[in-house]
Every structure is written in structure tokens, then in C-alpha cells.
Amino acid sequence: MSEIVAPGEHTVGEGAAQDQEKLAELAGRVLATAKRMGADSGETAVSRSQGFSVSVRMGEVETIEHNRDKSLVVTVYFGRKTGSASTSDFNAEAIEDSVRAACTIAKYTAVDDCAGLADADRMATEIRDLDIDHPWELTVEQAIDMAHECEDAARSFDNRISNSEGATVFTHRGTEVYANTHGFAGGTSGTRHSVSCAVIGEQDNVMQRDYWYTSNRDFHELESAAAVGRSAASRTIRRLGARRVKTTQCPVIYEAPVAASLLSHFVSAVRGSAIYRKASFLLDRLGEPVFADDITLSEYPHLPKATGSANYDGEGVATQTRDIVQAGILNNYVLESYSARKLGLETTGNAGGVRNLCIRPGKLGLEDMIREMGTGLLVTELIGAGVNNVTGDYSRGVAGFWIEGGRIQHPVEEVTIAGNLKDMFKRIVEVGADVDTRGNYRSGSILLDRLTVAGD
């Protein structure tokens, strides 16, 4: 496989390359063992990871957790019969036992005509540098100092901050190699770092809680610890004095950090396993409008430093930029090779899920959207999991702010919003420019023209 790296771009470090080389050698031994035991084909994923997290609460160190994990998963195929086994022990005897277990399982399973490796001609051949590996030489002592700085900034922000759930600093680095008997072998090393804080505010003997966090592949691009603490405190203070509102139907804005949940519900509905089991409210909607006609949802698996970036999926299939929804029309499902075969379709390179799913943003910021809405509800927190993926029925507890005259009037709590996702997707009238880029689902704030708000 060739490596595409433009002049001046980040390249994988020597340590990462050595880690991948060792795991690739191990993966090769696993596949050779499977062949020796009679398997027609096979695949394996081998990984190592390590990191730590530090939490402080009320000025005291609460937890220090180190993790060092490794995993080996092997899947073998005897014709269209499948067996899988896993181990965290990389010595020769454990690997031999795991492969033997997978082969034994395969011999006793039923034939499944859709089982097997992804097609050989779909394997990734171009490996881009995605700039996702940024090790942080952070000591535990430095992490403790950062966590203290974060919590101190939150607790000193306002005298109404009365308690703390703590501040946490987290760093992680992992390397994985996927290989199969098509001859494909790909290695990836990546990092994740974060700082988070949650505090409690009190006013008139009533308490509220909120939080904030920063997360990035590159620790240089994290918000400062103090900024995270101040954001957590500010978000908590603004919720003091919350009350219910009367039951009504009105426009609703999902603030960007919670708007991404709507994208996750959509992906669950167009995932291949839901479609072939006929357990989706978007069944048989391919090529039809499922969103408002100005909505486009695209997958960008090659974004530098992004959470979901990958050159290939969990089966070695090349990932690609694509519009899943274009001008409101559902172009294709989210498929790996098994569900694709079940449906008589081709894999979309989504074994392991979507990668950096983005809803195309508009030009308005959140404040402009609030002014445009006039009267309605701004949702900043979702509570509960009342979503039926088969029917699309949607009911979630929420907290947020009541808007009148295009301005925030007061915080809101103990209310429920309800609707049906089939209608909600078509009721999107604006997507904000305030895109939250911290996760795998990227969205600005989303304005729906009407939902039922159940309160008093």
C-alpha cells in the first residue's frame, strides 16, 4: 500500500511504525495458524492501548487510573460457516488455543450464505496520513495540576457554585492492526485526550448541575483547563431558577452539543442490520425524501485529526467521502459486507459505523437562530432514552431555556419534548454555523419548526 503525504504534513512517528510492525507480525502468525488448521479464509484485529486519567473533587485527588490493554480477535471461515474467538494473551500457546476455538466453533455453526470476508477488490490501497497520532508526554503530577486548575476555575467563578462533581484529565494512545487472508494488512495509531468538569450551583435552596469538556486527538488543540472550568460553571449558573412551562406546540432549537443525537438516531435507522431485519422507521425509503429538502448529511472519513477518521473500515474496505443524504433524499444505507449481502447491495465501507458524519451547516450562529425562532424552547440537555427505532416515536426529557421575543427569558426544567423522527427530520428549518467538532457526529444547533412540549 502506498502512503499519501503532502509536503509539510504530519507523518506517523517511528514509535508508532514499530508498534504497528510488531502487531502486523502477530496478525500474520494468527492467519497462518488459521490456514494450518484448515480455515478457508480468516481475519484478525490485534490492538494495544495505554493511558491514564486523573480526577480531583473539592480540591482533593479522587482517582488516578492507569490502563494498559491488549486484545486479539480472530474470525475464521470454513466455506460460509463462521467462528470467532478472542484473547488478551499474546503468547504462542494462547494464540494457538484461540484460533483452534474459532475453528471448532465454525465447524458447528450453520451455513450462512452472506458470511465471509469483504470482497478482495474493495480493500484499501491508498493510506493517507490522517494526523491522528499525537502522544502527550504528560506526567500524573502535571495532570493533577491541570485538574486542580480546571476545578478551581469553576468553583471560583461564582459564589453560587456550591459543590463539585470533579474535574478529570484523560489521555490515551492505541495501535491496532487489521489483517485478512486477502493479503490486506493495515495499521493505525491514534490518540485521544480530554479535560472535563462538572459542578453544582445553588440558589434559594435549589440546586442545578452542568458540565463542559474539551476533547481532541492533538493535546495542543485542547481548550485550557481554566476555560473548561469556567464554561462548566457558567453553564451551571445560567440554569439556576429553572421552572416548567405550560404544555404547548412550538419551535425547538437543539443546541449543537445535543443536536448530534438526532444524527445518531438517523444512523441507527439506516444501518444495514436494522434494514434487513425490517426494524427501522426508514425501511424502504432509499431514494426518497427523509429530511427537509435543503439538508445534506455527508461522511468525511479522511478529515485530519478528527475523532472518526480512518482509511479503511473494520473489514479493510476503503472508506470514502459520500453524501448519505443529499437535498433531503436518502442516497444509501450504512452497510458492512454482511448486511450488504443480505440486502443484495454493496458494502459502503461502514464496518464499525460511520466516520465523521456531518450535517451541512448554515450561516446563522445560535444567537441569530434564537432571534429567528422568536418564541420557543432551546434544548441544552436531553434526559432519558425514549426513542423507538422501529416506529420513529420520540419522547425525551429536556432542560434548557424558554425564548420569547427572540431572547432567553428563563431556564426550563422537568419538561418533555415529543414527536416522530420521520416528521422531525422534515421539520428542520435551520442548521447553525456553531458546529461542535468534538465527536464523530458533527452538527451545529438545529431548529425544528414545531414539536410538542409537555410541561404543566
Residue-wise pLDDT for 372-411, tens only, equals: 999 999 999 999 888 999 999 999 999 999 999 999 999 9
* One-letter amino acid of 92: A
User: Taking a C-beta distance cutoff of 8 angstroms, is the pair 199, 209 a contact?
Assistant: yes
CA–CA distance, 100 with 85 (Å, rounded to integer): 9
CA–CA distance, 242 with 235 (Å, rounded to integer): 13
| Residue 5 cell numbers, joined | 503525504
pLDDT, the chain, mean = 95
Q: What is the pLDDT of residues 417-439, one digit of tens each?
A: 999 999 999 999 999 999 999 99
Report the top-level CATH class of 2-237.
alpha beta
List all residues 6 or more positions away from 380 whose beta carbon is below 8 Å from its beta carbon: 210, 235, 255, 257, 258, 399, 400, 401
List the one residue out of 39, 48, 49 whose CA is nearest residue 98: 39
- Starting from the edge strand earliest in sequence, which strands make up the sheet with 185-203, in order? 81-87, 60-78, 41-57, 161-180, 185-203, 206-216
pLDDT value at residue 2:
27
pLDDT value at residue 367:
96
* One-letter amino acid of 89: D
| Residue 435 cell numbers, joined | 458546529
Is the predicted pLDDT of residue 15 greater than 80, yes or no?
Answer: no
Strands of 266-333, DSSP E: 297-299, 322-326, 329-330
pLDDT value at residue 384:
87
Q: Where are the domains of the chain?
A: 2-237, 248-454
* One-letter amino acid of 376: G
Q: What is the pLDDT of residues 220-263, one digit of tens each?
A: 999 999 999 999 999 999 999 999 999 999 999 999 999 999 99
Category of 352 on φ-ψ map: left (φ > 0), alpha (ψ -120 to 50) or beta? left
Q: What's the full length of the chain, in residues?
A: 456
Angle between helices 92-108 and 14-36 (to 10 degrees): 50
Our CA angle for 97, 101, 106, nearest 5°, is 150
Is the predicted pLDDT of residue 8 greater than 60, yes or no?
Answer: no
Q: What is the pLDDT of residues 101-157, one digit of tens each?
A: 999 999 999 999 999 999 999 999 999 999 999 999 999 999 999 999 999 999 999
- The pTM of the full predicted model, rounded to 2 decimals, is 0.92
14 band by pLDDT with thresholds 50, 70 and 90: low
CA–CA distance, 387 with 396 (Å, rounded to integer): 8
pLDDT value at residue 6:
31
User: Taking a C-beta distance cutoff of 8 angstroms, is the pair 100, 121 a contact?
Assistant: no
**Chain mean position to CA 350:** 13
| Residue 23 cell numbers, joined | 502487531
pLDDT value at residue 432:
98
For the segment 204-222, the average pLDDT, to the nearest whole number, is: 97
User: Taking a C-beta distance cutoff of 8 angstroms, is the pair 70, 87 a contact?
Assistant: no
CA–CA distance, 182 with 123 (Å, rounded to integer): 9
Give the residue, 4 or 258, on which the prediction is more confident.
258
Q: Provide the percentage of residues in the chain whose pLDDT is more than 70.
A: 97
For the segment 215-219, the average pLDDT, to the nearest whole number, is: 98
17 band by pLDDT with thresholds 50, 70 and 90: confident
